[in-house]
């Protein structure tokens, strides 16, 4: 019978001491290959924050995601916080108490500003040290409960900004199912361009218009393709507005200009994941995207969830990655044993919609689609490695988008462009409306969660955004 990898930590050890050291050595000996798992992943851990122990709450003590928050409606400065159950630990206030030691306290000291960039820049050892210290401090029976409890802020009373100041944003295109479905609409005989299965394709986007969940934006305006060949284009509000179901990847420690990040080292540079909706104006895109790619069709708004779940918290949900045997296999710089064994993530994503009509009649949002990140054609490590293979320097707080994450089945489409087959097949909504593309007043909600038997749900939270009437 195989021993439970977490059973050594079923009882709370002293914060520092020989019992913990002995158990940790046993753990390492038993699980030399499982280097990403540690005591913070023990599914038996409980928190003195009771809401964190409710099954399915999404923010148990095994998660501990980061955000930048303040009390809603206040003039307070935004500051970093960590979610535990339905509460937020104010990290800036916690730093002032000097309760932690060594790298954990140094990491906490980096949380005194408005965003997480300073913490992200410190590197993996510091993030891990802080996570471990927070896990111990928030466990049932912790000696630090009396000190930390007054620092809790209910999530219901908070508002958020982006977790980091995003300097650069690169959007990738890593779902072969999305690329194929869209390609078939324009190139039925050759949906995938020849480079797709050789490189993680991406383009540089606009960071200034990235907002946090709850973002409202006006329908974009731009040029539409002429109605006839050689005709005059029309300046008009977008008529084919779409969402894109994506994940966002926050870069932690960066690399110097001219220095590549090897695929073996890429995980050390990835701070965590969030949910991303990269809104798209399909008709603007159709007219402008050749020869240089997306421009006004993509830069008017992108919305991310407030919570960033660290890759360490997601370690139990890593899964094997491979390309089909009949496909070209990644070049050597995009391949490693670890990436093949555990480069993908089993992360479920759901898309929902509400409209002005549904909200006025108190209808619940309707599910449009579900997909899973494990079906992506390229991994996060490959995205990072390819981004820097030419010497490009990534910086703390940079955001990478996965591109639309569609699955192999029609109900797993990550955009309306796919679901409606380019507007030819209207989607029936439960309250009697139809959609081919988004209308004014529509709200899109995307949720993400990792789920496996015997382990608490790890949620990425949700991201919502609403379309307003064009300013035209």
3 state SS for the chain: CCCCCCHHHCCCCCCCCHHHHHHHHHHHHHCCCCCCCCHHHCCCCCECCHHHHCCCCCCCCCCCCEEEEEECCCCCCCEEEEEECCEEEEHHHHHHHCCCCHHHHHHHHCCCCCCCHHHHHHCHHHHHHHHHHHHHHHECCCCCHHHHHHHEEEHHHEEEECCCCCCCEEEECCCHHHHHHHHHHHCCCCCCCCCCCCCCCEEECCCCCEEECCEEEECCEEEECCCCCCCCCEEEECCCEECCEEEEEEECCCCCCCCCCCCCCHHHHEEEEEEEECCEEHHHHHHHCCCCCCCCCCCCCEEECCCEEECCCCHHHEECCCCCCCCCCCCHHHCCHHHHHHCEECCEEEEEEECHHHHHCCCCCEEEEEEEHHHCCCCHHHHHHHHHCCCCCCCCCCEEECCCCCCCCHHHCCCHHHHCCCCCCCEECCCCCEECCCCCCCEEEEEEEEEECCEEEEEEEEEEEEEECCCC
Active site residue 178: yes
Q: Two tokens at 154?
A: 């209910």
Active-site residue (options: 41, 177, 178, 387)? 178
- Active site amino acids: 178
């Amino acid at each position: 019978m195989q021993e439970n990898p977490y059973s050594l930590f079923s009882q709370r050890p002293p914060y520092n001491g020989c019992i913990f050291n002995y158990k940790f050595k046993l753990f390492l000996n038993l699980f030399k290959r499982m280097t990403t798992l540690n005591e913070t992943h023990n599914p038996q851990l409980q928190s003195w924050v009771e809401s964190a122990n409710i099954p399915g709450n999404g923010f148990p003590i095994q998660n501990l995601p980061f955000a930048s928050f303040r009390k809603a409606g206040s003039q307070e400065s935004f500051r970093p916080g960590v979610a535990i159950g339905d509460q937020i630990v104010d990290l800036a206030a916690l730093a002032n108490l000097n309760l932690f030691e060594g790298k954990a306290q140094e990491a906490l000291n980096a949380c005194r500003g408005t965003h997480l960039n300073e913490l992200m820049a410190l590197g993996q050892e510091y993030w891990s040290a802080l996570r471990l210290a927070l896990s111990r401090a928030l466990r049932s029976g912790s000696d630090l409960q009396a000190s930390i409890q007054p620092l809790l802020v209910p999530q219901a009373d908070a508002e958020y900004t982006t977790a980091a100041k995003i300097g650069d944003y690169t959007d990738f295109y890593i779902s072969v199912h999305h690329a194929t479905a869209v390609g078939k609409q324009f190139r039925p005989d050759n949906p995938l361009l020849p480079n797709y299965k050789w490189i993680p394709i991406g383009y540089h986007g606009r960071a200034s218009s990235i907002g946090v969940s709850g973002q409202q934006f006006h329908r974009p305006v731009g040029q539409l393709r002429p109605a006839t060949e050689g005709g005059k284009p029309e300046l008009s509000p977008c008529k084919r507005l779409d969402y894109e179901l994506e994940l966002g990847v926050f870069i932690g420690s960066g690399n110097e200009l001219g220095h590549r990040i090897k695929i073996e080292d890429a995980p050390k540079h990835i701070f965590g994941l969030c949910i991303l909706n990269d809104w798209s104006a399909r008709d603007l895109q159709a007219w402008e995207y050749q020869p240089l790619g997306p421009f006004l069709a993509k830069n008017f708004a992108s919305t991310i969830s407030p919570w960033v779940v660290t890759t360490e918290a997601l370690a139990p949900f890593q899964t094997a990655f491979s390309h089909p045997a009949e496909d070209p296999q990644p070049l050597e710089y995009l391949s490693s044993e670890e990436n093949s064994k555990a480069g993908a993530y089993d992360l479920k994503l759901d898309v929902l919609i509400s409209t002005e009509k549904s909200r006025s009649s108190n209808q619940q949002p309707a599910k449009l689609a579900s997909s899973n990140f494990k079906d992506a054609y390229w991994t996060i490590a490959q995205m990072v490695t390819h981004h820097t293979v030419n010497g490009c320097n990534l910086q703390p707080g940079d955001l990478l988008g996965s591109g639309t994450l569609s699955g192999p089945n029609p109900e797993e489409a990550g955009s309306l462009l796919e679901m409606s087959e380019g507007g030819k097949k209207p989607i029936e909504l439960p309250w009697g409306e139809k959609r081919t593309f988004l209308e004014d007043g529509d709200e899109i909600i995307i949720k993400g969660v990792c789920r496996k038997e015997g382990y608490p749900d790890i949620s990425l939270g949700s991201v919502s955004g609403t379309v307003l009437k064009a300013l035209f």
